[in-house]
Amino acid sequence: MTRTCLGPVTPTESHQPPPCSVLPPQYAPSSFPSSSTPLLTDAQMPQRRRNAPVEVGAEEALDLATAQSENVFLFIPNIIGYVRIILAGVSLHFMSYHPIYCTIAYGVSCLLDALDGYAARAYDQSSKFGAVLDMVTDRCTTSCLLCYLSSAYPEYAVLFQAIIALDFSSHYMHMYSSLVTGSSSHKNVNSDVSNILWYYYNSRTTLFLVCFANELFFVCLYLMRWTSKPIGLPDLFPSTAWNTANLTYPQAFALLSAPVCLTKNLVINSVQLWKASKILVGVDIAERKKAREERARRAE
């Protein structure tokens, strides 16, 4: 620890010691930049660097979380996230034998996904923990339903497994590329990176509708195993195999949401995976170039 005197000493009071306080070593005078150190204003600093995460070590982060001067675990959007996890567990419990309870619990869990983001903005309680909790909950909830669908429709098991693999890999690589480039959120995507991802993440209406239709399609596939009562629509295509008169509600809504589900899982996730891969490769190239320059400088 360094004892650092605070305040100037005037000639009339030079015989008295100035007030002192004990500061940790990192706050000693030698650790602060001198007056000759050039500083950038907020206007001069690039947007990405202004939003870059605060550098903190793992041990210090654990100490801060343990001290809990501000309990991030109990932020309102994070509490909503815990409720989502509980409801997802309830839906898994009823999934194999009670479709009504399962659908209600699963549907409410998915709808709360939109509420936690609203609460985070309304109460100024956005957090990195909450962002990761939200994404992990989304991935795990959908994957659990897809695992059940793999057993309910074994002929399409490989397709469901491919959807899970692409969904996890694309979101993980996108999240990681956001972290290594200093982005404050994985949803902060510029149009220069991808117009598709920019429109998907920056339009809350689009994000909600796409995610809603995606989950609706999988829920309808689940309910198709339990419902056989037709809606009673007229047969619009009497001379074809598409007998609309026998359509059930789950089948009808599955047909309506299928294009959006296909777009999200095939197009958006593929673009997300490819763009994140290119960003990580670009970071690797920049780091390797910097390492070569440092080795050349030391060799001189």
In angstroms, the CA 64 to CA 56 distance is 10
In angstroms, the CA 127 to CA 81 distance is 12
- What number of other Cβ atoms are within 10 A of residue 6's Cβ? 9
Active-site residues, by number, are 138
Could you tell me which residues are beta bridge partners of residue 3? 22
Find the helix or strand (DSSP H, E) in which 284 lies: helix 269-299
In angstroms, the CA 222 to CA 156 distance is 13
